[in-house]
């Protein structure tokens, strides 16, 4: 089984982080996880314009790349409806997968967003799932993708955000950007509740398909 994970931005560094995040889910005889970088995509998906810019080239990639399932590896799930209309194969959004994982483990969850503008896109997905009332709080870092990908630059702010979410009643925390993957263990150790990395959540769900 081949599962294609699509990074809808053009950052190779971000794709490398996604690949590392799903590495623990690769096992002999299991699905093949491949990460594709959308070279026509924006450098990162900060706002609705970036979100929409990624949709058409992502659908074209799905049309030319045969896979048993597809994962959209951006925590805003850009173009998931269009992607699902492009193929008969399953298409998973990492944010929706992370939310499903969160509500399986906790009554209320929080989200760490890369920028303030991400919140509207996350809320759109939560409303589509009927789970907006399970969101305890969302905290935006308001940093760039390059800052997130640095091993240390955003760590202190992310730890603070995690503590803020727990104080707001979150019993699990979702990392709201694929560039945050390498911070997961440090945040989980610091705040004492499960921290969910969206690409791992989607990959685990894809295995069950």
Count of the separate structural domains present in the chain: 2
- Residue 130, SS3? coil
d(CA 12, CA 9): 9
Category of 57 on φ-ψ map: left (φ > 0), alpha (ψ -120 to 50) or beta? alpha
Residues 17 and 105 in one domain: no
Residue 12 and residue 84 in one domain = yes
Give the position of tokens 């993708």.
145
Residues 125 and 87 in one domain: no
CA distance 204 to 97: 9
Q: Looking at the structure, do residues 114 and 148 belong to the same domain, yes or no?
A: yes
Find the domain containing 108 and state its range. 95-198
Tokens 């990908």 sit at which residue?
Answer: 149
Backbone angles phi, psi at 9, to 5 degrees: -115, 170
What CATH number should be reported for the domain holding residue 84? 3.40.50.12500
Are 178 and 124 in a shared domain?
Answer: yes
If asked whether residues 61 and 120 sit together in one domain, one would say no
124 and 65 housed in the same domain: no
Q: Are residues 8 and 77 in the same domain?
A: yes
Residues 68 and 32 in one domain: yes
123 & 151 share domain = yes
Claim to verify: residue 146 and residue 77 sit in the same structural domain: no
pLDDT at 48: 93
CA pair distance 158, 184, nearest whole angstrom: 10
Per-residue pLDDT of the chain (209 residues; tens, 9 = 90+): 999 999 999 999 899 999 999 999 999 999 999 999 999 999 989 899 999 999 999 999 999 999 999 999 999 999 999 999 999 999 999 999 999 999 999 999 999 999 999 999 999 999 999 999 999 999 999 998 888 888 788 899 999 999 999 999 999 999 999 889 889 999 999 999 999 999 999 999 999 88
In this structure, what CATH number is given to the domain that contains residue 182? 3.40.50.1860
**Based on the domain organization, do 121 and 66 belong to the same domain?**
no
């Amino acid at each position: 089984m081949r599962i294609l994970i699509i990074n809808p931005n053009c950052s190779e560094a971000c794709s490398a982080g996604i690949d590392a995040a799903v590495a623990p889910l690769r096992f002999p005889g299991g699905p093949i996880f491949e990460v594709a970088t959308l070279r026509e995509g924006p450098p990162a998906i900060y706002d609705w314009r970036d979100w929409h810019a990624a949709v058409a080239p992502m659908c074209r990639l799905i049309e030319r790349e045969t896979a048993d399932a597809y994962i959209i590896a951006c925590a805003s799930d850009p173009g998931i409806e269009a992607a699902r209309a492009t193929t008969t194969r399953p298409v998973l959004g990492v944010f929706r997968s992370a939310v499903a994982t969160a509500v399986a483990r906790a009554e209320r969850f929080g989200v760490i967003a890369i920028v303030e503008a991400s919140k509207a896109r996350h809320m759109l997905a939560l409303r589509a799932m009927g789970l907006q009332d399970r969101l305890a709080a969302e905290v935006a870092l308001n940093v760039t993708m390059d800052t997130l990908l640095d091993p240390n630059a955003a760590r202190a702010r992310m730890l603070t955000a995690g503590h803020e979410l727990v104080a707001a009643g979150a019993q699990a925390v979702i990392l709201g950007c694929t560039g945050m993957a390498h911070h997961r263990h440090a945040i989980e150790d610091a705040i004492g509740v499960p921290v969910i990395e969206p690409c791992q959540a989607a990959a685990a769900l894809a295995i069950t398909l």
